Chain A
């Protein structure tokens, strides 16, 4: 594994030609010396200590690192859920580091899709309605909401499950609903914090297959946090955090191909929940 400390990856894999970022394109993410300090009473926790990072459109980045190294903190800042204590964050050409709560809500709505470890779907609400939700806050009209949600669910292989509630879906299916929800507003960026953390290995591959497909076919920029090396290797680039700093940032020589692997994985015959 080659380890470079370069913040900006200069070269990319020929194997990912479809998702090849146009070099002169404006970066999706530009973090410049980001610091995050949590204050709890008298104690200050320096969660991020100067993180600088550029991610270009169409990249698929995996973030790794020990527990407490600042991965989730970084994701929260990337997702405009939180503001850095210091440093600037330019998202899609816009400085979002000092935006107000409402401005950040609008940015999240328009430019960012989230996938969480715990799925975070609305319970007692159908898959379709869950996927329609982000469009509701964007003000998309109901007919278009419906059409786009159906299309997104089909894209993650859940056609026919639109009316199921989360408790009527398997973990993998729930996560796929969450992926569909993250992409309906056509975000510039999808952020996934340990999306496979609650899934078994086969289901994890299925979810990674969807991510890879979205990344390659639609050019969606993806940032994913994971603890597992095998999962990180589906990405084109791996960034490792340590103690609130970037320890390494390198391209993946030969990213794994989830679609290929799925063909070779044994299909559990009585798993009628499986659409693949």
Chain B
């Protein structure tokens, strides 16, 4: 008797009890679709973090004032009260570190912006003219401010799309006047639209001015909390990191046993940390969903055991007319594999549909992974074999005479 025939026999047996087969499969359907949906959510999160990091630029380094916090990624505000990073430090980095190509400070000032009778509260960031290039964020209209405007602390400003839309609806903002902290500025450019970040924050709700202007005219102090440094290439980031560290230690006159009073981090480390986090999350979600697959498997075993008892006579008949024990075992094993794999297939469809629907309904990014699909097919087949084996063996071990006599 060929395998194909046994599979057909198994299918027929299942079709004879459609309702039960469907209910038994439900456990696997829910399990597989949950695994796929959960893994898609995890992978989606991971991918969007990756994309975000890539958009920032992988040859990017952060230099911030104050010692490094233990573990984790520090938020941009840094420790208050530290005054260890100066404009001169940044100039030195730019001048003396060969693996560094560009540097910009990043000075934030939350301010009220007024254009005509329109009002907007946002963070004005003081940066150097190299900011668009370092952050790989081009200007859409107009232009970014120049080196000369930075040196002279000119009152020029480049706004994000959200500001352009809200402060200058229907008009071209370039050349318009805007008041920042009651000082008149001139809009010279509008940044390209970036949209939301994965946390749902509007990345276009920003404004950029020369850091000199922000330090002197808006904040009234020249402290730098954060600076972005661009290495000449991605490979050069680690060299740049150690060279910057050496330079700053030397400039800050730190002795060998004094800790750094600044922090240099490169984007690759940040990306790896973020990756680690989302990987952990994906595994956790998949495990929780995997438990439901296991429960589905136990459901299959339960039904197969009931089925073997119920069909004792059938088994007796099959054996009497010449079925070998192995044919009976294969039949029942295949029945449970058919149950679990069919359930798995339906679960995949449901899981993929769910994964595609989640971004629309919950706003989370998802990424349907081929690996999750292949994995759940294999896993559901394994569930079928594992939980079907015992009932199948029980069926095959029956004695045809006893089985025929069974009422």
The interface stretch among B177-185, B226-234, B321-329 is B321-329
Whether, in the assembled complex, B318 has its beta carbon less than 8 Å from a beta carbon of chain A, the answer is yes
A188 to B: closest C-beta gap in Å: 13
CA distance A109 to B318 in the complex (A): 10
A139 to B: closest C-beta gap in Å: 6
Q: Is B320 within 8 A of A137, CB to CB?
A: no
CA distance A87 to B243 in the complex (A): 96
The interface stretch among B1-9, B73-81, B295-303 is B1-9
Of A76, A121, A123, A136, chain B has the most CB atoms within 10 Å of the CB of A136
B320 to A, closest residue via Cβ: A114
Q: Is A105 within 8 A of B317, CB to CB?
A: no
* CB within 8 Å for A105 and B325 given contacts A136-B1, A136-B9: yes
A115 to B: closest C-beta gap in Å: 11
List chain B residues, Cβ under 8 A from A136.
Answer: 1, 5, 9
A34-70 CB mask vs B (1 if < 8 Å, else 0) is 0000000000000000000000000000000000000
Which bucket holds chain A's interface residue count?
20 to 34
Q: Is B1 within 8 A of A137, CB to CB?
A: yes
Q: Is A134 within 8 A of B16, CB to CB?
A: no
Of A79, A105, A108, chain B has the most CB atoms within 10 Å of the CB of A105
**B404 contacts which of A120, A133, A185 (Cβ < 8 Å)?**
A120
Whether, in the assembled complex, B279 has its beta carbon less than 8 Å from a beta carbon of chain A, the answer is no
* CB within 8 Å for A133 and B318 given contacts A81-B400, A101-B325: yes
Q: Is A79 within 8 A of B322, CB to CB?
A: no
A97-139 CB mask vs B (1 if < 8 Å, else 0) is 0000110011011100010100011111100010001101111
Whether, in the assembled complex, A82 has its beta carbon less than 8 Å from a beta carbon of chain B, the answer is yes
* CB within 8 Å for A106 and B2 given contacts A82-B401, A120-B404, A122-B314: no
Q: Is A125 within 8 A of B1, CB to CB?
A: no
Q: Is A125 within 8 A of B16, CB to CB?
A: yes
CA distance A76 to B317 in the complex (A): 13
List chain B residues, Cβ under 8 A from A134.
Answer: 321-322
Q: Is B325 within 8 A of A102, CB to CB?
A: yes
Q: Is A120 within 8 A of B319, CB to CB?
A: no
> Interface SS of chain B: helix, strand, loop or mixed?
helix
Q: Is B321 within 8 A of A108, CB to CB?
A: yes
List chain A residues, Cβ under 8 A from B5.
Answer: 136, 139
CA distance A138 to B318 in the complex (A): 12
Q: Is B323 within 8 A of A137, CB to CB?
A: yes
CA distance A254 to B1 in the complex (A): 44
Q: Is B322 within 8 A of A105, CB to CB?
A: yes
CA distance A255 to B58 in the complex (A): 100
B191 to A: closest C-beta gap in Å: 70
B2 to A, closest residue via Cβ: A139
Whether, in the assembled complex, B94 has its beta carbon less than 8 Å from a beta carbon of chain A, the answer is no
List chain A residues, Cβ under 8 A from B320.
Answer: 79, 81, 108, 114, 120
**B16 contacts which of A109, A124, A185 (Cβ < 8 Å)?**
A124
List chain B residues, Cβ under 8 A from A105.
Answer: 319, 322-325
Q: Is A120 within 8 A of B322, CB to CB?
A: no
A130 to B, closest residue via Cβ: B317
Which bucket holds chain B's interface residue count?
20 to 34
Q: Is B313 within 8 A of A120, CB to CB?
A: yes
Q: Is B323 within 8 A of A125, CB to CB?
A: no
Whether, in the assembled complex, A181 has its beta carbon less than 8 Å from a beta carbon of chain B, the answer is yes
A137-169 CB mask vs B (1 if < 8 Å, else 0) is 111000000000000000000000000000000
Q: Is A137 within 8 A of B325, CB to CB?
A: no
Whether, in the assembled complex, B394 has its beta carbon less than 8 Å from a beta carbon of chain A, the answer is no
List chain B residues, Cβ under 8 A from A102.
Answer: 324-326
Q: Is A108 within 8 A of B322, CB to CB?
A: yes
CA distance A129 to B314 in the complex (A): 13
Q: Is B322 within 8 A of A185, CB to CB?
A: yes
Q: Which of B325-339 contact A (CB under 8 A)?
A: 325-327
CA distance A134 to B323 in the complex (A): 8
Whether, in the assembled complex, B12 has its beta carbon less than 8 Å from a beta carbon of chain A, the answer is yes
List chain B residues, Cβ under 8 A from A101.
Answer: 324-325
A85 to B: closest C-beta gap in Å: 15
B12 to A: closest C-beta gap in Å: 7
List chain A residues, Cβ under 8 A from B2.
Answer: 139
Q: Is A109 within 8 A of B322, CB to CB?
A: yes
Q: Is A137 within 8 A of B327, CB to CB?
A: yes
B23 to A: closest C-beta gap in Å: 18
CA distance A122 to B313 in the complex (A): 9
A108 to B, closest residue via Cβ: B322
CA distance A101 to B319 in the complex (A): 10
CA distance A123 to B314 in the complex (A): 8
Q: Is B317 within 8 A of A81, CB to CB?
A: no
List chain B residues, Cβ under 8 A from A181.
Answer: 321
CA distance A79 to B317 in the complex (A): 13
CA distance A148 to B257 in the complex (A): 95
B6 to A, closest residue via Cβ: A136
Besides A105-B324, A120-B404, A134-B322, 11 more A-B contacts (Cβ < 8 Å) are A101-B324, A105-B322, A108-B321, A109-B321, A109-B323, A120-B317, A120-B320, A137-B321, A137-B322, A137-B323, A139-B2
- The chain A residues found within 8 Å of chain B, CB to CB, are 76, 79, 81-82, 101-102, 105-106, 108-110, 114, 116, 120-125, 129, 133-134, 136-139, 181, 185
A sample of 19 inter-chain contacts (CB < 8 A) reads: A79-B320, A81-B401, A101-B324, A102-B326, A106-B324, A109-B323, A110-B322, A120-B317, A120-B404, A122-B314, A122-B317, A123-B314, A129-B12, A133-B321, A134-B322, A136-B9, A137-B1, A137-B318, A185-B322
- The chain B residues found within 8 Å of chain A, CB to CB, are 1-2, 5, 9, 12, 16, 313-314, 316-327, 400-401, 404
